[in-house]
Amino acid sequence: MTGPALHKRLAAEDRRRQILEAAAELFVARGFEAVTMTDLAQMLHVSRPTMYTYFASPEAVLDVLLGERLQAFWTGLEEQLTRLLPPATSPLPPQLPPHLFSSLLTFLVGERATLSLLHCGGGPAFQHRRLAFLDELAARLATLRPDVRRSPYLLMLLTQLLGSVALRVTLLPPDQPDALAEALDAFVRGGSAMLLEGGATEG
């Protein structure tokens, strides 16, 4: 695997960006724990001291990468939810909007680079990051309808299902992703309706 060489004429921010892009490729290809600063330096055809000018360790590179990509991810997800849901000033519909979950799955699958990076390591730090990601995803999904929170398990099930299916599609794309998205939408809508009706009856 080879990467773009860093030329001395490049501005510091351009060099930093090249390091980040090359690191993301290497982390996903090899697994984060298998990548060293020497590996990154060799990929970019620079010395290790040059690498340390910009980042103290692979962990520092990863922190910046995930910080940037997750910020963009949450912004994009919020835009999707705003597009799919009625305005906050409008009455909520009696049912969840059609194609809601298939649209969300399509968005998640489109964020392949972020999901792959989030799953490129297996240590405790990565486990913590993934749990934090699911917690934040649950918080965003809680805006779907206020009564979603009335069912103690619905939000957890929605979050885990969307996250797991999106990762599966990201790593091993199926032959018919559109059909899978439609099936997921029908499955979740049916199960959600039953849980929400049960919650309403209990209330």
Per-residue pLDDT of the chain (203 residues; tens, 9 = 90+): 444 444 455 688 888 999 999 999 999 999 999 999 999 999 999 999 999 999 999 999 999 999 999 999 999 999 988 888 766 556 655 566 778 888 888 898 889 899 999 999 999 999 999 999 999 998 888 877 666 666 667 788 888 888 888 888 877 666 677 788 888 888 887 777 777 665 544 44
**Cα distances (angstroms) measured from residue 115 to each of 54, 163, 181:** 25, 9, 17
Q: What share of the chain is helix, strand, coil (3-state, %, to 5)?
A: 75, 0, 25
Q: Provide the phi-psi class of 201: left if phi over 0, else alpha when psi is between -120 and 50, else beta.
A: alpha
Q: Provide the phi-psi class of 99: left if phi over 0, else alpha when psi is between -120 and 50, else beta.
A: left
Per-residue pLDDT at 168: 83
Per-residue pLDDT at 2: 47
Residue 149 identity (one-letter amino acid): R
Per-residue pLDDT at 187: 84
Per-residue pLDDT at 95: 63
Per-residue pLDDT at 93: 58
Give one DSSP letter per residue of 25-60, joined into a string: HHHHHH-GGG--HHHHHHHHT--HHHHHHH-SSHHH
Q: Report d(CA 197, CA 203) in Å as an integer.
A: 10
Tokens of 143: 């805006």
Angle between helix 12-30 and helix 58-84 axes, rounded to 10 deg: 90
Per-residue pLDDT at 140: 86
